[in-house]
Amino acid sequence: MGYNIMFAGVSGVGKTTLAKWVAETLGIPFVSGSYSDLVPETKDMPHQDMINQDAATVFRQDMQVLSLRSKRFRGEDNFVTDRSYFDSAAYFINKLSHRIEPCDLDHAIDCCRLLLSQQCTHLVFIPYSTQFYNHWVIENNNKRLLSKYYQFQVSQIMYGLLELWGYTPYNPLKSKMLYGIENCGTMEIMGYKIKVLVLDELNLEKREFILKRFLQL
């Protein structure tokens, strides 16, 4: 079975660490989907400055990232990445919903959804839930927005996208009995089914256990 595994969630919740661990565990390539790796002119630019650029620049850069991610992922039969088109869609909404024409935003979101259906078999969404809000400390890499409120807001958009894009959770009791995990299901887009895990867990060992079980589904 092929693995095209994408991690989604706001910055600073551990996506890259877990993605690299999964890649090592499965013996498949880790492919960085980081914005700053793909658009070099943003490498030393704080997130705050990036989102405060004029709307046309933000839209151009974000569409450029979609294209570059697609090219990078397309060449791999099996891979794990620390970014996804799912969180790309959420950031389009967060940054541009009030600044560009609705038809342009619809086009960007449709591109994200289409690319996800074509290039992702497993989506791991790490939500910035109330548990994270109360107990998680975001590492300061001098680029991230550290505001809990901002991270919580973007994560709520991602929760909304799960519903809009047709996420159907498995029966939680049956899933826990069979696999030891609860918050997982599928998302069907244009006839393609993507397995989805909502990883609302802070402890690293428990995260790794849940991921192992999820990848056995």
pLDDT in tens, 140-185: 887 888 899 999 999 999 999 999 999 999 998 878 877 788 899 9
**Distance between CA atoms of 89 and 112, rounded to whole angstroms?**
6
User: What pLDDT sits at residue 1?
Assistant: 58
User: What pLDDT sits at residue 106?
Assistant: 97
Taking the CA atoms of residue 168, residue 171, residue 177 and residue 181 in that order, the dihedral angle to the nearest 10 degrees is 30
The pTM assigned to this predicted structure is 0.94
> How many CB atoms lie under 10 A from the CB of residue 131?
12
Mean pLDDT of 27-36: 89
- Which is it for the CA torsion 14, 128, 124, 158, positive or negative? negative
Largest CA distance in the chain: 51
Mode of pairing for the β-strands spanning 192-198 and 184-189: antiparallel
**Distance between CA atoms of 98 and 102, rounded to whole angstroms?**
9
Average pLDDT over all residues of the chain: 92
Contact of 78 with 2, CB cutoff 8 Å: yes
pLDDT at 45 > cutoff 90: no
Mean pLDDT of 205-209: 95
Mean pLDDT of 8-23: 96
pLDDT at 12 > cutoff 70: yes
**Distance between CA atoms of 184 and 125, rounded to whole angstroms?**
10
**Distance between CA atoms of 126 and 25, rounded to whole angstroms?**
19
User: What pLDDT sits at residue 68?
Assistant: 92
Of residues 37 and 62, the one with the higher pLDDT is: 62
> How many CB atoms lie under 10 A from the CB of residue 110?
11
pLDDT confidence tier of residue 50, bands split at 50, 70 and 90: confident
User: What pLDDT sits at residue 124?
Assistant: 98
> How many CB atoms lie under 10 A from the CB of residue 139?
9
- Give percent above pLDDT 70 in the chain: 100
pLDDT at 17 > cutoff 90: yes
Q: Spell out the alpha helix ranges (H) of 120-195.
A: 130-135, 148-164, 172-179
